[in-house]
Amino acid sequence: MCTTCGCGGHGATVEHSRKAAHPYVPRRRVAPSAGEGRRIAVEQDLLARNDAEAALNRGLFAARGVFAVNLVSSPGSGKTSLLVETLRRLAGTVPVAVIEGDQQTRRDADRIRAAGAPAVQVNTGKGCHLDARMVARALRQLPPLPAGGLLLIENVGNLVCPAAFDLGEAHKVAVLSVTEGEDKPLKYPDMFRAAALMLLNKCDLLPHLDFDVGEAEGFARRVNPSIRIQRTSVVSGEGLDAWLDWLRAGAAAAARTAA
């Protein structure tokens, strides 16, 4: 049992590697009688070790001039479809690699490869998020990106635990579908507070839904006044140019920093 997020465990399988237990889970489970103080200490140690690994990832990205983005959302928000369309539109202009996080199956990584980008699938088993060491292991299976390259990390669908785990990314991008409730930013404030950008996705469905866009955006800015918001739709193409411009600008800035 993960003491930080309460999921059933953090075993992870990276494609072509042997399944290993989550490196940060303590070997001996803390009994409830050990007290709240000890539980908090274990949680702090867990996050501290992850942060140290994330700092190594971040240093590697900075040295190579790679712009790394961590996409987070609920299941079914349209992250993978957005990634596929992003790859299609960036083809031949920006080098891109993808790390796919899911509890099971390789379906999303197969879709990404079919779109023309190298991808590694990380299956977390009972775990509910990626962590920095999983990303580090996946990176070793990807071809090195040149300066100005883009690493897109699709996290496990979950609006709780990924907020606490730094992967070494430059930014988190929260994808909120209009098929969800407007109050998601209020219900899951840590995630939207951690995100630099919110993509309000599937906007082509708005004529068929009772969804208040202004209210959703207002709730997001209430928990994070500096968050940038972009409305997007893979079906209609709304907002995709602005999304791609944001990615290109980040990749170009990463290349300049490394030069």
DSSP collapsed to 3 states, the chain: CCCCCCCCCCCEEECCCCCECCCCCCCCCCCHHHCHHHHHHHHHHHHHHHHHHHHHHHHHHHHHCCEEEEEEECCCCCHHHHHHHHHHHHCCCCCEEEEEEECCCCHHHHHHHHCCCCEEEEECCCCCCCCHHHHHHHHCCCCCCCCCCEEEEECCCCCCHHHCCCCCCCEEEEEEECCCCCCHHHHCHHHHHHEEEEEEECHHHHHHCCCCHHHHHHHHHHHCCCCEEEECCCCCCCCHHHHHHHHHHHHHHHHHHHC
pLDDT on residue 7: 60
Q: What is the pTM of this model?
A: 0.85
pLDDT on residue 107: 78
**pLDDT tens figures, 135-165:** 999 999 999 999 999 999 999 989 999 999 9
Q: Could you tell me if 133 and 145 are in contact, meaning their C-beta atoms sit under 8 angstroms apart?
A: no
Neighbouring residues of 164: CB distance < 8 A, sequence distance ≥ 6? 4, 5, 47, 129, 190
pLDDT on residue 12: 65
**pLDDT tens figures, 21-71:** 333 333 344 445 556 666 666 667 788 999 999 999 999 999 999 999 999
pLDDT on residue 1: 43
Domains delineated in the chain: 13-258 (3.40.50.300)
**pLDDT tens figures, 77-89:** 999 999 999 999 9
